[in-house]
Amino acid sequence: MGNATYDKDSQLVYLKERLNMFIEVIDTIEPEDVELEDVDRLLEMLDDIEFKCEQFKKGE
């Protein structure tokens, strides 16, 4: 996932893969065992996805 993504189809695939990874992480978390660091990491993942969405919208 470190390669530059330029065309819209590739960007969409990239975002779908990132969202799927996020969902997989959410699905594996046991609510009783979640720690603050886990929540911080989830928020960081969402921020990264949002950043990429903004980049793709701007055409960067």
Residue for token pair 């911080």 = 40
pLDDT score, position 7: 86
What is the DSSP track for 28-44?
H--TTT--HHHHHHHHH
Q: pLDDT, tens digit, for every residue of 25-60? A: 999 999 999 999 999 999 999 999 999 999 988 875
Q: How many CA atoms lie within 13 A of 7 on its CB side?
A: 2
Query: How crowded is residue 53: how many other Cβ atoms within 10 Å of its Cβ?
Result: 13
Closest CA to 41 of 59, 57, 28, 54: 28
Q: In the structure encoding, which two tokens stand for residue 34, read together?
A: 């979640």
